[in-house]
Amino acid sequence: MHTMDRMNATLEHIPVFVPRIGVDTLKHLTDALDVGWLGMGATTKEFEERIAAYLELDGRHVVATNTGTSALHIALLAAGVGPGDEVIVPSFNYVADHQAIRYTGADVVMCDIRDDDLGIDCAAARALITPRTKAIIPLHFAGIPCDRAGVYELAREFDLRVIEDACHAFGSTIDGKKIGSDGDVTCFSFDPVKIITSIDGGCVVVNSEDELARLHHLRLLGVDKDTTERYKNARAWEYDVVDQGFRYHLTNIMASVGISQIKQVDAFIASRQEICRRYSDAFSTLNGVRVLRRSYDDVSPFIYSLRVLRGQRTDLIDFLKSRNIAAGIHFMPVHEHTYFASSRRGDMRVTERVATEVVTLPLHSFMKEQSIQRVIDAVCNFFR
């Protein structure tokens, strides 16, 4: 073994994601287990109420689900999306959105992104609108707000529903207001690697009581009354089944983890914003990279994404690996995947270039100072 390899082998591995699970979460979990009502119940309701309070909702409603993907699925159904409809969504995205559209029987139409915030390109989306277009799903990539005003302008002009994929953006703000606090339909994810986790989980935020009722049915096998009873840790023994439905509800146990996390969300976000600022400060002077953001005041950063130019991404990832630092890729374009290759799409010039550039560096809430510095030094050494 070379001296350098021996030295690197002794360095602690730095993963891309590290969940922040402390004794507080364990306490919430054991308390929830002690209640003896493991399924959906009063703790699920409390988690929904805490989400509503955190997002500062005024008249909007939260429905917790077992994943972000199921949130997107029932959000689309509640928005009236179904067979024969088309839904416009960026290809530069996780495939959950595209699969959720397919679950409804609607067709996926993929559009390009902007070069600056890597969010939806509204001009590109406009060019794809047809009489069949029912909805549009903008993604706030990496927690960075997309051109939301542009999306809602399109929605008004063409009478489209907007389902915001805010799975990366729990706590991000636009004009000082949290994403999800207004607009049409918003979906969040609390999966294992998100800003806050409920191990797996998600939620939908909607405006009307009717949509709330519909989501309750869709979430729990189309059964009426049961949500109200379960929120009291009880069951409705006599009920009707009023709609098609799925088994998408969030259990008390998962919700208890979510509650322990949401109590700390401001501190999680502040620590991640600070790390992102330090990364951007260090990398913005390097030749061969582009940082997405310098300021993070409005961003709840899910990941730190760096753009590596001139085809050097693989070499950078290998270099980091040799220093025991992991790196990820968000995202491979969905239109390049076999199942979605034949979906209608527009020009993908930006998506295809950006997808070869992006690399996700390690970002954890309260990441160790030593780890932050090792990531900064490694990236800087590679480009110097």
Ligand X SMILES: Cc1ncc(COP(=O)(O)O)c(C=O)c1O
Please give the residue ranges that form the binding site for ligand X (CB under 6 A). 67-69, 93-94, 96-97, 139, 165, 167-168, 189, 191, 202
Q: 134: closest CA among 103, 159, 109?
A: 159
Give the nearest distance from C-beta 206 to ligand X in angstroms.
Answer: 17
Q: Tally the C-alpha atoms within 13 A of residue 85's C-alpha that lie toward its C-beta.
A: 21
Give the nearest distance from C-beta 119 to ligand X in angstroms.
Answer: 11
Could you tell me the two tokens for 155?
Answer: 């929605």
Q: CB 361: neighbour CB atoms within 10 A?
A: 25
Could you tell me the two tokens for 152?
Answer: 């809602």
Nearer to ligand X, 67 or 260 (CB): 67
Nearer to ligand X, 168 or 214 (CB): 168
Report the relative pairing of strands 185-189 and 202-206 from DSSP bridges.
antiparallel
Nearer to ligand X, 222 or 328 (CB): 328
Nearer to ligand X, 99 or 324 (CB): 99
Nearer to ligand X, 200 or 211 (CB): 200
Give the nearest distance from C-beta 200 to ligand X in angstroms.
Answer: 6
Residue position matching structure tokens 């989400």: 51
**176 CB-contact burial (10 Å; exposed 0-12 / middle 13-18 / buried 19+):** exposed
Nearer to ligand X, 85 or 97 (CB): 97
Give the nearest distance from C-beta 138 to ligand X in angstroms.
Answer: 11
Using CB positions, name the residue nearest to ligand X.
68
Question: Any alpha helices (H) in the chain, and if so which ranges?
Answer: 3-9, 23-35, 42-54, 68-78, 96-103, 122-128, 148-158, 209-219, 226-230, 252-262, 265-283, 313-322, 349-357, 369-383
SS3 for 5? helix
Give the nearest distance from C-beta 201 to ligand X in angstroms.
Answer: 7
Give the nearest distance from C-beta 68 to ligand X in angstroms.
Answer: 3
Residues, the chain: 384
Nearer to ligand X, 189 or 371 (CB): 189
Rg (CA), the chain: 21
Nearer to ligand X, 167 or 372 (CB): 167
Give the nearest distance from C-beta 224 to ligand X in angstroms.
Answer: 26
Could you tell me the two tokens for 17?
Answer: 């994601």
CA distance 284 to 384: 13
Give the nearest distance from C-beta 292 to ligand X in angstroms.
Answer: 15
Q: Are 45 and 61 in contact (CB under 8 A)?
A: no
